Amino acid sequence: MIHYEKFQLDNGLRVIFHQDKTTPLAVVNTLYDVGARDESEDKTGFAHLFEHLMFGGSVHIPDFDAPLQNAGGESNAFTSNDITNYYDQLPAKNLDTALWLESDRMLSLAFTEKSLEVQRNVVIEEFKQRYLNQPYGDVWLELRPLAYKEHPYRWATIGKNIQHIEEATMEDVKSFFKTHYHPGNAILCIAGNFELQEIQEKVNHWFGSIPSQPKKVRNLPKEPIQTEFREKTLERNVPTDAFYYAFKMCPKLHPDYFITDLISDAIGRDKSARLYTSLKKNQKLVSEIGAYVMGSIDEGLLIISGKLNPGISFEQLDQALWQELHTLSNEEMSLKELNRLKIKVRTAKEFQEQGALNRAMNLCFHELMGDIEEINRENEHYEKITPTDMVRVSKVLFTKENCSLLKVKSNDAK
Amino acid sequence: MLNRLNAPTLHPIDKIEFIEPAVFEIAPKVKLFHMNEVANETCRFDLYFHAGSIQDSAIVSSLTSALLLSGTANKNAEQIQEEINALGGFFETGVSQENAVISIYALKENLVAIVKIVLDAIANCSFPEQEFHDVINERKQKYLVQQEKVSFLVQRAFQQRLFHDSPYGQITQIEDYNKVSREEVMEFHKKHYLSGLNKTALVGNFKMDEIDELIDLCGVLQSEAKTNHLPIIQNLRGSVHIEKKDALQTAIRVGRTLLQRNHPDYHDFIITNTILGDYFGSRLMSNIREDKGYTYGIGSMVSDFKGFSYFLIATEVAKEVKEATLTEIQFEIKRMQTERIEEEELNLVKNYLIGQMLKSADGPYSMMDLFLSAEMHDTSYDFYNEAIDKINHITSDRIQEIAQKYLNWEDFTIVTAG
């Protein structure tokens, strides 16, 4: 059970307080309801570039990190296709420092040309380091536009290409801030050894006077239902052939979401999973294989990926893989297998809830999804899943016309 | 009126509480350390073996670790995995030069049952032929992928030159996979696992009878006292470049071997290292990332073995700024040696380091890691109290002195790949 208190400021900021009497640290987590899906298609990579700029100084404070470090704390952030999330951890006594910094950058940024120029370069190097200068690094730049045709999930958070980042202007930056960075578009969670009243006072003090803005109505293009099998082959200078099967799956709030997640566990979570034991251990077709769901808010993807053993063809793999998937969609699994999957989920969740930082991030995310109490119901959802549910959802998922396949073929002279 | 221009008043951290684990004996030289007060149902059990790569070779130590659950006379690998997974257990292994560690994560109600399965698998491991070949095949495939990465190429060459001519510097080459035999692995297992258990660590809310059961279970692995480390090694100085065609970025490593943890300069070196490159606001980050935009990240660090430590700067930069980056690194080091650090920057680093210490002592899992790190080097929490004292009292003159003594460019091993 994760306990929490919720309140909202007049300017629209939603605040969650999570009391943890065991830690000497405070966590300040700020989620902004903006991700790569909110970008326009000719200016991709912007939400993530913007995350970097948020550390380049705000309206009253020239440098974000130094005062936080001086208070014994540190900070970081991440951007996904759905959200941008910032977090600070520091000694509880110095909570005010984090609130001062976070509230000032919610109020307004410094917008210096220097910061924009440098962070453009930093992000371009990040692009190279993660996506271009790694074997198989560009897979996500290719798989997304194969699986999505209309929805903005068709580009990666880093952006479609380096040019979009190079072309970002100060005007773009300012308008992005104005649209997405304001109290009504944010969720703040504070965790630590505090009392509700002092948190209410502090949050009001630092954030209360930030002007509210109208929340932008999100109107994303809906992804049409996929009706045909899609396939693309990349030839790359990589040592082994690799495969990425992407199956469209339900949005995060759909009741079948947890079932789909458990299906991905059944086929590819660990060394007892079906694809691992069958395709790797028994048939020796692959050197590695795994499966997972992307966890997207809108219609998502279930991914099966791996690498072929030398001398094995994509066709051999394809046949064996579909056979396993058909078994899953046609035969109910034993309760023993189902229970094995469930206890793994329960154990992993218990570990995720160990740290106050994880709990704070999760609370913000669940609040964003509309019902924060869901955070305490997740286990129930998994517990209720039956073998019949697994077959029903597998049948919908694992059809050829619901699948996009990306093959990376090695063009190494062997 | 709300004052946004001035930072809120800071409150110094007056005290960090280090909690001692309870200590039990498995064998005369093998202890079980126990930390409780976990806020939920999770637990972790670690088993440490003197089974690092310096005992034999990098390939044999790493294959042995990978094959610990490969099967016994009564069970195959799949059955063992199935049993552990059915109890919701997560099993992890790690091998360094000096140690091999096995960690089990689970809900506490399932731990004893999982440990039973794992220990039976390790004690009676038969290293089936087929499993041995499967792992070799898997490793070869991984190796081929890895060698496409500049970070992998640079790290290997750096390790060889840093721990020059010593067992610490050995790396696995692709042809080693064709030479290594199953018998070597079985021999290593016998010597370094069946009689190599060195200590265990338990985090979780357990009662005495459960702890007794774990102690009994561990009894199957007899332990002999032996050494797992060597004294300091002189790094091979000078530069080398590894060419990788078509690479978009160049990976850089700069470093040297250094003092043991108990050396009187050790703590002050750690502080000096932090200023130079070990936090987000460090001089290397401020200059090379935040001013020049040459890289996504650059950092320096200090890592410890039992008999010595080493210092290292690591980054990946745009190909065309490799030389410019090396010049800036040199410039920042020179600046540490010739200019006194301003009070403001020094105070910030002091506050940051104390904050980090508070964070590494936050909660039973972190506390156990902190304890194990001290114990590994035959010290106690005094080590951290001493560190806090050194942080509070270090002066700018002293930092300059340390930089002059240990950060000389001609003493470094420098490797680039790209």
Q: What is the pLDDT of residues A14-34, one digit of tens each?
A: 999 999 999 999 999 999 999
Contact at CB, A60 and B5, closer than 8 angstroms: yes
Write out chain B residues lying below 8 Å of A110, CB-based: none
Q: Reduce the DSSP state of residue B339 to 3 states and report it.
A: coil
Query: Which among B8, B86, B141 has the least Cβ separation from residue A100?
Result: B8
- The Cα of B362 is separated from the nearest Cα of chain A by a number of Å equal to 6
Q: Which residue of A has its CA nearest to B146?
A: A135
Q: Tell me, what's the pLDDT at A364?
A: 98
Nearest alpha carbon to residue A144 among A70, A203, A80: A80
Q: Which fold has domain A230-410?
A: Cytochrome Bc1 Complex; Chain A, domain 1 (3.30.830)
Which of B104, B359, B365 best tests the A interface by mutation, with the highest count of A CBs <10 A?
B359
Contact at CB, A354 and B11, closer than 8 angstroms: no
CA atoms within 13 A on the CB side of A277: 17
Beta-carbon count within 10 A of A380 CB: 10
From chain B residues 229-268, the ones with a CB under 8 A of any chain A CB are: 246-249
A292: CB partners within 8 A, 6+ apart:
A264, A268, A269, A302, A303
Q: Reduce the DSSP state of residue A44 to 3 states and report it.
A: coil
Chain A contact for B107, CB < 8 A?
A: yes
Write out chain B residues lying below 8 Å of A306, CB-based: none
Write out chain A residues lying below 8 Å of B287, CB-based: none
Q: Tell me, what's the pLDDT at A400?
A: 97
Contact at CB, A97 and B7, closer than 8 angstroms: yes
Percent of chain A with pLDDT over 90: 95
B79: CB partners within 8 A, 6+ apart:
none
**Is 60 exceeded by the pLDDT of residue A413?**
no
**Residue-wise pLDDT tens digits, A111-130:** 999 999 999 999 999 999 88
Q: Tell me, what's the pLDDT at B232?
A: 85
Quote the CA–CA distance of B300 and B269 in Å, as a whole number: 12
A276: CB partners within 8 A, 6+ apart:
A268, A270, A289, A290
Q: Which residue of B has its CA nearest to A238?
A: B145
CA B118 to each of CA B63, B77, B96, B115, B190: distance values in angstroms, whole numbers, following the listed order: 17, 11, 21, 5, 16
Between the two ends of chain B, the Cα-to-Cα distance in Å is 56
Query: Which among A100, A126, A310 has the least Cβ separation from residue B7?
Result: A100
Contact at CB, B358 and A351, closer than 8 angstroms: no
A278: CB partners within 8 A, 6+ apart:
A320, A324
In chain A, ranges of CATH 3.30.830.10 domains: 5-207, 230-410
Nearest alpha carbon to residue A377 among A248, A253, A269, A251: A253
Quote the CA–CA distance of A403 and A247 in Å, as a whole number: 5
Q: Tell me, what's the pLDDT at B165?
A: 82
**Residue-wise pLDDT tens digits, A165-213:** 999 999 998 999 999 999 999 999 999 999 999 999 999 999 999 999 9
Question: What tokens were used for A364?
Answer: 């913000």
- Burial label, A292 (beta-carbon count in 10 A; 0-12, 13-18, 19+): middle
Q: Tell me, what's the pLDDT at A245?
A: 98
Chain A contact for B392, CB < 8 A?
A: no
- The Cα of A16 is separated from the nearest Cα of chain B by a number of Å equal to 21
Q: Which residue of A has its CA nearest to B356?
A: A72
CB A190 within 8 A of CB A21: no
Question: What tokens were used for B246?
Answer: 């078509």
Q: Reduce the DSSP state of residue B100 to 3 states and report it.
A: strand
Average pLDDT over chain A reads 96
Contact at CB, B363 and A91, closer than 8 angstroms: no
H/E stretch holding B117 reads helix B108-123
Q: What is the DSSP string of A66-119?
A: HHHHHTT-EEEEEE-SS-EEEEEEEEGGGHHHHHHHHHHHHH-B---HHHHHHH
Beta bridge partner(s), residue B33: B23, B201
Q: Which residue of A has its CA nearest to B82?
A: A272
- The Cα of A320 is separated from the nearest Cα of chain B by a number of Å equal to 19
Quote the CA–CA distance of B87 and A335 in Å, as a whole number: 14
Helix axis angle, A46-53 relative to A113-127, nearest 10°? 130
Q: Reduce the DSSP state of residue B256 to 3 states and report it.
A: strand
Distance between alpha carbon A60 and the CA centroid of its chain, in Å?
31
Query: Which among B291, B295, B358 has the least Cβ separation from residue A25?
Result: B358
Contact at CB, A71 and B355, closer than 8 angstroms: yes
From chain B residues 139-168, the ones with a CB under 8 A of any chain A CB are: 141-142, 144-145, 147-150
Mean pLDDT by 10 residues, chain B (418 residues): 91 91 93 94 96 94 97 97 97 95 98 98 97 94 92 96 92 95 97 93 97 94 77 93 92 96 95 97 95 94 94 96 97 98 97 96 95 92 94 97 98 97
Contact at CB, B354 and A66, closer than 8 angstroms: no
Q: What CATH number has the domain spanning A5-207?
A: 3.30.830.10
Q: Tell me, what's the pLDDT at B225?
A: 63
Between the two ends of chain A, the Cα-to-Cα distance in Å is 55
Contact at CB, A72 and B13, closer than 8 angstroms: yes
Helix axis angle, A113-127 relative to A170-180, nearest 10°? 90
Quote the CA–CA distance of A94 and B8 in Å, as a whole number: 8
Residue A414's pLDDT band, with cuts at 50, 70 and 90, is very low
H/E stretch holding B214 reads helix B208-218
Across the A:B interface, residue pairs with CB atoms under 8 Å apart total 198
Q: Which residue of B has its CA nearest to A350?
A: B42
Write out chain B residues lying below 8 Å of A90, CB-based: 355
- The Cα of A342 is separated from the nearest Cα of chain B by a number of Å equal to 8
User: What backbone torsions phi and psi does residue B240 show, to the nearest 5 degrees?
Assistant: -145, 145
Chain A contact for B42, CB < 8 A?
A: yes
Could you give all domains of chain B from N- to C-terminal order, each with its CATH number?
22-218 (3.30.830.10), 238-417 (3.30.830.10)
Q: Which long-range contacts (CB under 8 A, 24 or more apart) does B337-345 make?
A: B337/B400, B337/B403, B337/B404, B337/B407, B338/B400, B339/B400, B340/B396, B340/B397, B340/B400, B341/B275, B341/B396, B341/B399, B341/B400, B342/B396, B343/B396, B345/B275
Contact at CB, A134 and B149, closer than 8 angstroms: yes
Distance between alpha carbon B395 and the CA centroid of its chain, in Å?
29
**Residue-wise pLDDT tens digits, A322-374:** 999 999 999 999 999 999 999 999 999 999 998 999 999 999 999 999 999 99
User: What backbone torsions phi and psi does residue A307 show, to the nearest 5 degrees?
Assistant: -130, 140
H/E stretch holding A407 reads strand A403-410
Nearest alpha carbon to residue B151 among B318, B315, B310: B315
User: What backbone torsions phi and psi does residue A302 show, to the nearest 5 degrees?
Assistant: -105, 125
Chain A contact for B337, CB < 8 A?
A: no
